[in-house]
Amino acid sequence: MTSVTGQRRFLAVALLPTFFFLACFYVYPTVFNLETSFTDLSLFGLRKGGDWVGVENYVELLGSGDFRRVVWNTVVWLTVIGVGVRIVLGLALAFLLNSPVLKRWRLQTLARVLLIVPWATPPVVAIVVWRWLLDPRVGTINSALIALGLVDQPIAFLAERLWVWPAILTIITWNTLPLVTLTFMASLQSLPDELIEAARIDGASRWQQIRYVYLPHLKPAVIVMVLMSTFWTFNNFVYVWLTTGAGPGLYTNVMATEVYIQAFINGRFGYSAATGVIMATIMTVFGLIYLRVIAERELSEEER
């Protein structure tokens, strides 16, 4: 009994530094941000502090047409479409890189090395390179389109509303697609050859093999990557801000850039904190879903 008590005390003492840093870097900022969201704290009045305004910031926020557009950009463009494109392309590339054709021509190693290059490129560097490629004056993409006769004049991809979101999603996809693809490739390579051979013996076509053998095996990996990609994408600030600065105008403004704009450009810390609280609430819901999926997956593996 004494030894058990001693072990518990030892574990409590050993975990104290961890809990201390968690409290400093997570609990305190969360509580402070929540408290600030109920005040009118301003960047230009930090010394005197903010006055308590209750839920006024939330009422203004939720009733704002601009904020509804920000939520639409974040949920639909950045998250649903962005994550969906990566999942679909990741599956397609994973099947391609595992295809017998690449094995026959011994191109698998080269293809995988080329796949890792975008992943190894820091987002800031990737954005700078893509901004140059998409530039309407010196960009090589516009030069190629004009040379091929597809367009008559350069396209301002990052300034025209028709093209700006596809351009942003292209940059994000190029930089983050390799991780999704490699995850699916690892899942495909763990598929037993006996299942594929049995499907072939039963006369299953290639499409039937993909539908009834490969995709069910990939389902856990797909679910995990959808949830993780949603985490990484929903609260992303770098890609949108460094690519367009939330422009043209505020057309590509998302929740992460809205927090920054309200706090450090408009100087409204209280309003910005309220936006951050709503973001954190949405991400908490995603987090609970993610934990539930992981827990169910572990239980199913234990039952096997």
Q: Tell me the C-alpha distance between 75 and 236, whole Å.
A: 12
**In Å, what is the CA distance from 1 to each residue of 151, 201, 262?**
80, 61, 57
Structure tokens that stand for 44 in this block: 């230009």
DSSP structure string for 169-192:
HHHHHHHHHHHHHHHHHHHHHTS-
Mean of the per-residue pLDDT values of the chain = 88
Structure tokens that stand for 118 in this block: 């975008």
pLDDT digits (tens, 9 = 90+) for 106-151: 777 788 888 888 988 999 999 999 999 999 998 999 999 999 999 9
Confidence of residue 12 (pLDDT cuts 50, 70, 90): confident
Q: Which CATH superfamily is domain 31-39+50-303 in?
A: MetI-like (1.10.3720.10)
Rounded to 5°, the CA angle 127-128-133 comes to 95
Note the pTM of the prediction, 2 decimals. Answer: 0.88
Confidence of residue 287 (pLDDT cuts 50, 70, 90): confident
- Give residue limits of the domains in the chain: 31-39+50-303
